[in-house]
Structure 1
Amino acid sequence: MDIVIALIYIVLFIIMMIFVFSIGMIRNYMPKREIVLVLVVAFLIGAIGGAFFLEPIYEELPQMMSTVEKNVPGNEETMYLDLSSSINMNELNDNLSKTEGFVSLKETAITIPLWKLNDKEVEYFNYVLKNIDSHFKNYNVTKDGKLQIELEDNYSSYDALKSFSDWYKLVYGGSISYAQVHAELVVSSSSIEDFQKILLDYGVVPSKMEGPVQSTINDTNTSMLPSTHFVLITGAVGVVVALLGIYYDSFGVFSRRFRRFMREKRKR
């Protein structure tokens, strides 16, 4: 949210509280039983003002808090990406590496969907995968037909998919139509938005993010009140402001008596 808009919202809420205060002040000209009505109206105005003007600012609090971390030199964020094998990884890497704030892009694993496997097929794939390519660091085969293969450092997903596809075609006579590439993109915290825009051009949204900025956002979200509770609190603020208006004259009398008492005490 723009700072100017946020300030306007805050000013509008303050104006509403001034109006509530004014309602409280004219309570002396109403029957005593009307005090409940004044407090109810004050609560509604506070709740409505909080919902329309303060809650949008409150919801932006995690992003505002993360701005500090974004501007700390040396802070880095890790984006975990799930990419289609149809994406040109060389082109993507080239576009990302040219962007200021780029640290590294590492292809970590591939996931190949097959068909539902029985126990014998799971055992067979677990046995044969280690012999297909020595660069397969680790692998996991599930009964729902997903083969997840971890890659050694500096080994590309293209080469890994080619090795498996060549073996698959030789054994089964078919081809692999789709696979997913898992990668880790490390960037400067101050440049997160730039890289998110580039990834969005490829239809990619990070599945997870880790780093100082994301930790700040997560911690702030955890500590924040639900929207309903926040609105109720702003309603309670309206009630407090109304009470200040109702008893303003009493506060003024007490304040004058207190100042008089202090002056007399000093004279003694």
Structure 2
Amino acid sequence: MNTMDVLGVTVMLALFILLLAFIFSTGLMTPIIGKKNLLFVVFIGFIAGTVGGAFLISPVYDEIPEIARGVYISTEGGTENVTADVSTATDIMKLTEELAAQEGVVDVHSEGIVIRTDRFSENRKRIIEEKVSIIDSNITSGKVYTNGTIILQVKKGYNPVKALENLAEWLMYTGGIKTRYSTVHLVVEVKPQNVDQVVSYLQAREIVVTGVKGPAEEKVAALKRSLPDKSNIVLFCGVLGMLTGLAGVFIDSIFGFVRGIYQRYRGV
């Protein structure tokens, strides 16, 4: 989180604590308003606690994954993988070099090419599957679908656009199949603390970031799955407000009970 986020969270928590103090002080007024109004104090405590939970604690609760992410990033070793789909109209090799020069980037490579062409027959599909590695020896594998989708994997370090050009030329020459568009699936291996910087760098160039994977992101995802529903948190705040009001009502009895235990323990 940035400084404003931290300040916002601090203010929200401080306001909620002040709200609880107000509820507690309402309970303290029972000698004046009479304990017959106990239900009123309980009601006020629950309502105020629920409102505080909804408007003060819920925004803080939403920030928990990001707070945890910041902690994980500062403590985790290893690297995170930022994945992006880049149009082959982009100079892929230049982009790769620019990304590799960014702070914290360990490696940049293409993981595959997605090509969309005209539809073709099942027989043509089989021919493409048989010939794809011959068309360009740097193509390591490929998946071909008759709806015109072809997914290729190329050797690490090889220019994927070159493989695309070779295949597109062969498709047009042998079957009159036109390549409509294509994208390269780029993987940027980066140190955890530099993930946001790399994501911002890609987005500033209008490149679609498809995901971030790695130890820190996996822990954040696991934390999100383990967090209770937000409505339960709001309900808990309502109950907490109610208990705070009751604590104010019975504060003398509570102190007397604690004092009695202490005196028995001390043998007084």
Residue 119 of structure 2 corresponds to residue 150 of structure 1: no
Residue 63 of structure 2 corresponds to residue 60 of structure 1: yes
- What is the deviation of 1:195? 0.5
Percent identity of paired positions between Structure 1 and Structure 2: 24
Out of 39, 43, 46, the residue aligned to residue 40 of structure 1 is 43
Deviation string 1:31-90 (CA, Å, 9 cap, x unpaired) is 655333322221121111122222212211112112223224743111122211112212
User: Which residue of structure 2 aligns with residue 104 of structure 1?
Assistant: 107
On the 8 A contact 1:111/1:148 being kept in 2, the answer is yes
SS at match of 2:180: coil
User: Which residue of structure 2 aligns with residue 125 of structure 1?
Assistant: 128
User: Which residue of structure 2 aligns with residue 163 of structure 1?
Assistant: 166
Deviation string 1:133-155 (CA, Å, 9 cap, x unpaired) is 22211111123321111112221
Q: TM-score, normalised by structure 2?
A: 0.90
Letter in 1 for 2:257: F
Deviation string 1:13-38 (CA, Å, 9 cap, x unpaired) is 00000111112222344465533332
Out of 14, 18, 25, the residue aligned to residue 17 of structure 2 is 14
SS at match of 1:143: coil
Residue 218 of structure 2 corresponds to residue 215 of structure 1: yes
Residues 166-205 of structure 1 mapped to structure 2, 5 A cutoff:
166-173=169-176, 175-205=178-208
Structure 1 CA distance for aligned equivalents of residues 22 and 225 of structure 2: 34
Structure 1 CA distance for aligned equivalents of residues 63 and 143 of structure 2: 40
Larger displacement relative to structure 2 (31-40 or 140-149): 31-40
Residue 235 of structure 2 corresponds to residue 232 of structure 1: yes
After superposition, the Cα gap between the structure-2 partners of 1:115 and 1:254, relative to the gap in structure 1 and judged at 3 Å, is: same
Larger displacement relative to structure 2 (120-129 or 131-140): 120-129
- What is the deviation of 1:163? 0.7
- What is the deviation of 1:159? 0.9
Q: TM-score, normalised by structure 1?
A: 0.90
- Could you tell me which runs of 5 or more consecutive residues in structure 1 were left unpaired when the two chains were aligned: none
**Number of aligned residue pairs:** 265
Structure 2 CA distance for aligned equivalents of residues 119 and 158 of structure 1: 26
CA RMSD of aligned residues (A): 2.1
On the 8 A contact 1:110/1:182 being kept in 2, the answer is yes
On the 8 A contact 1:103/1:186 being kept in 2, the answer is yes
Residue 8 of structure 2 corresponds to residue 5 of structure 1: yes
After superposition, the Cα gap between the structure-2 partners of 1:116 and 1:35, relative to the gap in structure 1 and judged at 3 Å, is: farther
On the 8 A contact 2:119/2:146 being kept in 1, the answer is yes
Letter in 1 for 2:225: T
